[in-house]
Chain A
């Protein structure tokens, strides 16, 4: 056997080193001594056999439950106050649309615009919304303040676009697509879309040797 009680093999090598070797790199001898030492080879073979179940379990394809992230996001939306609604008056009642639902519609619309790599949405910061309201005299018409219950909505979109595309053109197209989708899906007609182009993705074949790859 491999002398696991006294720490060393008859040849003087430590079994703990051989075990680390098997676990990290496998059973192959790594030096001349191991090539020719029967004790080392026996120990390597035994550890490889004992360690096999570890490899087997490691190669199992274990995935997270399908609704894990969904459950987390539901919790976070409870934590992050998101009580803004856009109200749409209709005969027989009022329809309320949560701002996060509008943000989702907006990001989906933005992602379809050619040149857009990533679109992330959030509701516009309340302070920002208040400032815009003040600047645009929206307060003169109660209930129509940006984001707050009313008929108008402001959404921030952070975009990453492909290198070489006309950024202003993409931003314009995104605003148009978002307005069109929110209008047709919700009936809201006063949607303000703040577009922030946050980054540009350079195709891998344009990255010159010596550049630091982003990713």
Chain B
């Protein structure tokens, strides 16, 4: 276990200890990057967003009141930056226009090709989800955050969060079923 908690490092970072902030970033870098990766679907955009989010966190630190954990606050920045990037870079592709990924046809002794194809199908189906359904799904299914924490990260009520998560799951499973 880490000898000091995030709140201690946040307090020191606010006093100008850049060291303390670097420690915080090292603690949360993997999850920060992973959330961006699952939201955006490619590593180049994910790296940009993760980096921008961390810089933004430093700049916004004086306004961080500690109402939520530092982690939730940072992930919220990541989600917002991912949404912004997506809005700027490409129009939303309607679900009907997406094409099913090629499923395995050749010999597949270890089942690896099929597994890969199913993962590709999943990523395509997630990318096709509207952002507001995708964000709770990513935080829940891949990051295993609690409903309460997801609601805090997204700035939504818990009821709205649950509703969006359920709709995201339904859309996703219907798409996966059509492609299977």
A-side residues, CB < 8 A to B, are: 4, 16, 19-20, 23, 47, 50-54, 56-58, 62-65, 68-69, 71-73, 75-77, 79-80, 100, 103, 107, 117-118, 120-122, 125, 156, 158, 160, 198-199, 201, 214-215
Contact = CB atoms under 8 A, between A and B. Distances in A.
Given A53-B121, A65-B33, A68-B51, A19 B170 contact: yes
B97 interface: no
Given A53-B118, A54-B141, A76-B18, A68 B169 contact: no
A200 B45 CA distance: 41
B41 to A, nearest CB: 12
A198 B115 CA distance: 51
- Chain B facing A: main interface SS: helix
Contacts, number: 126
Contacts of A63: 30, 33
Interface in B3-17: 3-5, 8, 12, 15-17
A100 B30 CA distance: 26
B113 interface: no
Interface stretch (B20-28, B79-87, B151-159): B20-28
B17 A121 contact: yes
6 contacts: A16-B170, A19-B173, A65-B47, A69-B29, A73-B22, A121-B19
For chain B, the bracket of interface size reads 35 or more
Contact of A79 (B20, B59, B118): B59
B55 A75 contact: yes
B141 A58 contact: yes
A100 to B, nearest CB: 8
A68 B17 contact: no
B180 to A, nearest CB: 7
A92 B54 CA distance: 42
Interface string B46-59: 01001100110011
Contact of B3 (A56, A76, A118): A118
B122 interface: yes
B12 A158 contact: yes
Contact of A199 (B8, B43, B51, B122): B8
Contacts of A23: 140-141, 169
Given A56-B119, A201-B4, A68 B19 contact: no
